[in-house]
Amino acid sequence: MCGIVGLHLREPALEPRLGELLAAMLGQVVERGPDSAGVAVYGDPRLSPPGRTVVSLLGTSKAEVEAVLPGTMAIEADATTLVHAGVDRLSAALPEATVIGSGEGFAVLKGTGHPVALAESFGLAGVTGWQGVGHTRMATESAVTPEGAHPFSVGPGQCLVHNGSFANHATIRRELRAQGVEFDSENDSEVGARFIAHQLAQGADLEKALKLLCERFDGFYTLLVSTGDSFAVVRDAIACKPALVAETDVWVAMASEYRALDVLPGIEHARIFEPEPEEVYVWRR
Q: Which residues are catalytic?
A: 2
User: Across the strands, what pairs with 283?
Assistant: 231
The string over 200-232, giving b where at least 16 C-beta atoms fall within 10 Å of a residue's C-beta and e elsewhere, is beeeeebeebbbebbeebebbbbbbbbbbebbb
DSSP letter at 34 equals B
Residue among 31, 8, 26 nearest 18 (CA): 8
**Cα 248 off chain centre by:** 22
**Prior bond to 277 cis, omega within 30?**
no
Round to whole Å and give the CA distance between 91 and 196: 23
DSSP letter at 149 equals S
DSSP letter at 15 equals G
Round to whole Å and give the CA distance between 85 and 88: 9
Q: What angle do CA 115, 10, 235 make, to 5 degrees?
A: 55
Q: Are 39 and 6 in contact (CB under 8 A)?
A: no
6 contact partners, CB below 8 Å, separation of at least 6: 131, 132, 133, 134, 161, 224, 226, 231, 233, 253, 254, 255
